[in-house]
Amino acid sequence: MSSEPVEWRTDAASSRGLRALVYVVVGLFGGGMLLVFCGVAFFGVSLALGGEYTYLAYVALLALIGGPLSLLYLLPMLTDRDQRPPLAALIADEAIAERYAAAFTRRRLLGAVIGGALVILVALSLNPRALFVLVVGALFLLPLASGVVSWGQVNPEERTLTHRYRTISLPRVDRLRRVDVGGVSLCWLSYRPGAGDVTSPRLLAASPEAADATERVLATVDTETGEEYEPDRAVQLALGFLALCFLGLAGAVFLAEPGTGGDPVLEWYIVGGFGFFGAMLALAAVFSG
């Protein structure tokens, strides 16, 4: 078995699905800002043509305060190339910064913004609720996608796995389940009783090479000489109590018969939100400790 560490990185620069989601979010919010700008400009022109110069002055003042004047502190960065921070300053690894710069070009971002504006106009013309569902859906997918974004290292010699900023000892892991999808291995780590906690990585997206290295290390772990771990019952009870609270709120809203006292889409969204967080807390209570 090779003792060389195996590194991986799964992010928007390497995954088409994550990159598409980023473009969708940028398109929706950038398109919304573009429509607001166009609406303000159209309103100003209509006031000028109608001779309403007083109202036009108010609109121009508000637009300047909320727009260019609020961004004056960025002027040196935009005019002076030496003061303009490179993308590598925002992303620690220069190679990663170059991959992000290649994945998110100005033309593609501009196309996403224009496309997002057109989608918003179409959604508003069909049904305003369609736009609400679209925006909420994109926001709902963002935390799920952030769980897929991962980077780390498997060190066979030290028998450790580093996922993002957390390093765990692989002898604590009882079993690894994996599903390979399009060059990415979705891995689920099952810990020995009491060996894991809430912060222990469980579901991670790694490269097939990293998953293979992890399986080889786990195959060498002697289960009979492994350490015994006691679960933290206090943490489990606290998470279980919070899970019951969220599930109870979801049940209360559901029993209020969504659709009779307000917007059914909004009420079902509240039920789904409370239920989702309750389920996640319940799973954390079961697998923590």
Residue extents of the structural domains in the chain: 14-147, 149-225, 233-287
Q: Where are the beta strands (DSSP E) in the chain?
A: 6-10, 150-155, 160-163, 166-169, 173-181, 184-191, 203-206
Per-residue pLDDT of the chain (289 residues; tens, 9 = 90+): 567 888 888 888 777 777 888 888 888 888 888 888 888 778 778 777 777 777 777 767 666 666 655 555 555 555 555 555 554 444 545 566 677 777 788 888 899 999 999 988 888 888 877 777 777 777 777 777 776 788 889 998 888 999 888 888 888 888 888 888 767 888 888 887 767 666 778 888 888 888 899 998 888 876 544 455 566 677 778 888 888 888 888 888 777 754 445 566 677 777 888 888 888 888 777 766 5
Q: Do the beta carbons of residue 141 and residue 127 sit within 8 Å?
A: no
The residue type of 45 is V
Q: Do the beta carbons of residue 61 and residue 54 sit within 8 Å?
A: no
Q: Quick one: DSSP state of residue 199? A: T
The residue type of 102 is A
CA geometry: angle at 236 spanning 233 and 237, to 5°? 85
pTM (2 d.p.):
0.59
Instruction: Please compute, for residue 31, the number of CA atoms within 13 A of its CA located in the half-sphere on the CB side.
Output: 21
Backbone angles phi, psi at 187, to 5 degrees: -115, 140
